[in-house]
Structure 1
Amino acid sequence: MKRMSIFRPGLFKGKVAIVTGGGSGIGKAITEELVTLGCRVVIASRNEDKLKKASQEMDPKGQSVFAKVCNIRKEDQVKTLVSQTVNELGRIDYLVNNGGGQFPSPVADMSLKGWNAVVETNLTGTFLMCREVYEQWMCENGGVIVNIIADMFRGFPMMAHTGAARSAVDNLTKSLAVEWAEKGVRVNAIAPGGSIYSSTAAKNYGDVNIFERTIPGLPTKRLGTTQEVASATSFLLSPGASFISGATLRVDGGGSLYSPLIWQIPEHENLPAYKWTYSPTPEEDTAEEESSSPKAKM
C-alpha cells in the first residue's frame, strides 16, 4: 500500500532533505511524509541498526531513504554527514532538526554530565547542523530549515535540561531567520506538545502511560499523532509557507494555553485525529482496500 499525504502529490519532487532522528517517532513520520511527496531523504542518528531497519521499512528499494550514522554532538561527524549528502545526492533543500533526547529528573538530582549531554544534543547539535548545511549548501542556494523543539513555554518541570535547550533553539531559530534571509533561507520551529504519542518515546521514558496522563489537560481530549507533526512540518517546508520565517508553530492541541482553573472543557470527540489515508497499488483489490484502509479525519 502507498501512503498518501493531504498535500498534493509530487510537492517535493526532486528535492533532498536531511532529517536527524529520522528513524523513529516524529522523525520517522516526517520522513515518510516527505518521501510520499517525492523527496529523497537522508535520515541520521547514532544507532546504525535502527536507521537501517527504518530505511528498509520505508523504502525497500533504497531509492528515496538513505541512512547515515551521525552523532550530531560531534562537529566532524556533522561536517561529514552534510558533505556526503551534497556529494551523493547533489543538493540539500531542507533540513529538519528532529534529533534530540532527554530523561525525566528533578533539577536537584541532575548531574553535570546528564545536563551537558541533553544540552549538547538538543542545542549544540541543532546549531552544528544548521551551520554546516548553511555553509556547505544553503548560503549559495537557499533552503528551508525546521527545528523540532518542545512545549516548554510554561517551564518544563522534571525536564528542565531539555526545556532550557529547546527554549534556546526557539531563540536561535529567530536569529537565523534574520541573519540568513538575504541568502534565501527560511528558518522556523515546531513545538510538539508532550501529548504527541510515540511508542518510541514511551519506551525510552520507561512509562507506557506517560502520554495518557496528559489527556485531561488537553482541549482536544485526545493525544496527538506523529503524522500531525509531520503534516505541519511539510507545510512549513512548502512554498505555501514562503512568507513565514522565524516563527514557532505549536502542534499541541491548544494544551499550552489551557487552564482548567479558568475554563473547563468536558470530554468530547469533536477534534478527531488526522491519519494518513492509503490508496491501493495496481496489484491490490480496490474495493477491499477502500473498505479496510484507515481514512483521514479532518
Structure 2
Amino acid sequence: MSGDRTKASKESHMRYQSVFTPGLFDGRTVVITGGGSGIGRCTAHELAALGARVAIIGRDPDKLARVRGEIEADGGLVSTHAADIRDEPAIIAVIEEILAEHGRIDGLFNNAGGQYRSPLESITTKGFEAVVRNNLTGGFIVMREVYNRWMKENGGAIVNMIADIWHGWPHFSHSAASRGGMLTLSESAATEWAASGVRVNTVAPGSIASSGLDTYDPKDTEFIQKKVAREIPLQRFGTESEVSAAIVFMLSPAANFITGTCLRIDGGAPNAKPGWWDLAPAERNEPFDGFHRSTLPDILAGRTNS
C-alpha cells in the first residue's frame, strides 16, 4: 500500500475518482446495506459520484449520518435508513420507506455482514447462528423484499457480498458456511428471477484494507499485520476502491449479460499453493485508490485500535 498519501491531499479532489463514465447511474436508485463504513461507504460514494440516488442501510444512525454528510458535501444524493438486516419487520418497513422516498430501486448491494476469528471447535452454537443470520439470512430477507416489492415488476440488479471462501476458510468456518450459502442462494435467484429482468451476482473480496480489519480482536493483530499479505500472490492488501469498482460494474448496464456469476477480488490468494510454490515479492502492481476520503485502517497504519 502506498501509505504516503495523506487524507488532505486526496480530499483536495473533492470527488470520487471513478474509472466509470460520469452520469452512468443518473436517475437510478441503489440500496446499500452496511453503508455506514468500509466497503459499503466507499461504494455509496462512488455510486453517488456517478449520479445514483443512494439509500444506505445500517444499524448505527451516527455512522449513517456521517456518510450522508460526506456524500452531500461532495454533491451527491443519499438517504439513510437505520435497521438491522436480521430484523424482518424492520427491513420490510425500510424498503417501503425507500420506495416512498425515491420511487424505485434499480440496484441492491447486499453488503452488511461480519465475522470473528475462532477455531471451529470453540465456536458456540449461538455464535455460529449469529454469523449465519448476519451473513446469509439477513441478506436473503433484504433481496427477497426488494424483489417482491419492486424488481419483480421492474427489473434490476443485485450484488451480494461473499468472501474468499474457496477450499474452506479455517478459523472462519461459520462465515465460510454462510458465505457459501449466499453464493448458491445467488446462483439460484439468478435463474428464478431472470424472467423478471433481475440479475443476481456476487463479489468475493479477499484481504482488503478496510475498516473491517479494526473489528478483529487484539490477539489477531500480528496475524493480520505480518502474515496475511505474504500469502497473497500480489503481496498486498486490496483497496476499498478496487472492490467498489467491481460492484459498480456488476450493477451497471455493461454487465447486462452477466448473472449467476461470482467476481473474485483477492490478489490471487486462492491460487497460491503453499509448499509447492514460494511467493516472490510482487512488482508493478500499484493499488487503485479512487476514494478521496479513504484512510488506512488503524491496524495497518500502526495506530492503536481504541
- TM-score norm. by structure 2 comes to 0.87
Match of 1:180 in 2: 193
Structure 2: 5+ residue stretches without partners: 1-13, 293-306
1:269 shift after superposition: 2.4
**Corresponding position of 1:88:** 101
Q: 1:215 to 1:123 in 2, by over 3 A?
A: same
- Measure the CA separation in 1 of the matches of 2:144 and 2:88: 10
Selected match of 1:196 from 208, 220, 223: 208
Return the alpha-carbon distance in structure 1 between the equivalents of residues 103 and 88 of structure 2: 22
1:230 aligns with 2:244: yes
- Code of the residue aligned with 1:196 in structure 2: it is I
Q: CA deviation at 1:250?
A: 0.5
Q: Specify the alignment match of 2:71 in structure 1.
A: 58
Assess if the C-alpha contact under 8 Å between 2:42 and 2:291 holds in 1.
no
RMSD over aligned CA atoms reads 1.5
State the partner residue of 1:135.
148
* CA distance in 2 between partners of 1:211 and 1:251 (Å): 18
Once the two structures are TM-superposed, the CA of residue 222 in structure 1 deviates from its matched residue by 1.3
Query: Does the aligned pair in 2 maintain the 1:196–1:211 contact within 8 Å?
Result: no
Pairwise CA distance, 1:260: 3.5
AA matched with 1:167? G
Answering whether residue 178 of structure 2 is matched by residue 165 of structure 1, we say yes
Task: Give, in angstroms, the shift of residue 184 of structure 1.
Answer: 0.2
1:272-287 pair list within 5 angstroms: 272-276=286-290
SS in 1 for 2:108: strand
Q: Which stretches in structure 1 are left out of the alignment for 5+ residues?
A: 279-298
Distance (Å, rounded) in 2 between the aligned partners of 1:63 and 1:242: 25
Q: 2:61 aligns with which of 43, 48, 51?
A: 48
**Residues 48 and 76 of structure 2 are in contact (CA less than 8 Å); yes or no, is this contact kept in structure 1?**
no
3-state SS of the aligned residue for 1:35?
helix
Contact 1:70 1:78 in 2 (8 A): yes
| 1:63 CA displacement | 5.5
> Per-residue CA shift, 1:57-77, capped at 9, x if unaligned?
222388512110011101101
Equivalent pairs, count: 276
Task: Report if the CA contact (8 A) 1:174-1:188 is conserved.
Answer: yes
Instruction: Give me the whole-angstrom Cα distance separating, in 2, the residues matched to 1:214 and 1:249.
Output: 21
CA distance in 2, matches of 1:150, 1:109: 22
- Residues 12-56 of structure 1 show CA distances to partners (whole Å, capped at 9, x for unaligned) of 011101100011111111111111111111111111111112211
- Identity in percent: 43
AA of the residue aligned to 1:18: V
Aligned residue for 1:15? 28
Partner SS, residue 191 of structure 1: strand
211-220 vs 236-245, which deviates more? 211-220
Alignment-mate amino acid for residue 203 of structure 1? D
Matched, 1:151 2:164: yes
Q: Quick check: 1:125 aligned with 2:138? A: yes
- Please name the residue that 1:246 is paired with: 260
TM-score by length of 1: 0.89
Q: Could you report, residue by residue, the CA deviation over 1:230-256 in whole angstroms, capped at 9, with x for unpaired residues? A: 000011111111111000111001111
